[in-house]
Structures are given as C-alpha cells and as structure tokens.
Amino acid sequence: MSWLFLAGAVLFEVAATAVLRMSDGGRRRRWLPVVAAGYLVSFGFLSLALRAGMAVGVAYGVWSAVGIALTALVARAVFGDPLTRTTVLGLALIAAGVLLVELGAR
C-alpha cells in the first residue's frame, strides 16, 4: 500500500509543478490555489507512504527522482521544453542513485 501512496504523491507533485508553470511564475494568480492544493495533497500522500512503513530515504528518493523525470517529460510534451541527451543522462543517473538507495535500504 505504501507504494500506491507514493505514486499518488508523485502524481500530485508533478501536476502541481505543471500548473505552477501555467501560472507563469505566479503572475496568473488564479492558478496558485491549485498549485498549493496539489503540493499539499502530494505531501499528504507522502506522509501516508511513510506511515505505511516505507523508509524515508527510499520514499523521498523515489518521490523526488520520479517526480523530476515525469516533470521533464510533461514539460517536454506540454510546454515544448528541451529534452537533450545531457538531460536524459542526468535523469538516468538520478534513477541509478535512487536504485542504489533502495537496494541499500533492504
């Protein structure tokens, strides 16, 4: 169940970050309550994952790494942001680091 909660945390964090981009850095203030709600729900799901027994290092590592990767993909698909080889390499290194943290937690 903890992984399901963590997936919810990631999805809401990525959605909130995309909406933050849509708010034009806060200039379009109508989006800011949606951003705040998304981050609050994300942290709520993250706390549920921790309460369900997931190690904090694993939860935070996966949450941040998957969030970074999905945010980059959403930004590419929705906003046309660049996704270069260097960016992809960076994402792969982050994924490898999180995998090592996960393996070390067992």
Number of domains the chain contains: 1
Tens of pLDDT, residue by residue over 29-79, are 899 999 999 999 999 999 999 999 999 988 998 899 999 999 999 999 999
Which domain does 66 fall in, by range?
2-105
What is the full DSSP assignment across the chain? Answer: -HHHHHHHHHHHHHHHHHHHHHTTTTTSGGGHHHHHHHHHHHHHHHHHHHHTT--HHHHHHHHHHHHHHHHHHHHHHHH-----HHHHHHHHHHHHHHHHHHHHH-
List, for residues 86-105, the tens digit of each pLDDT value.
Answer: 999 998 998 888 888 778 86
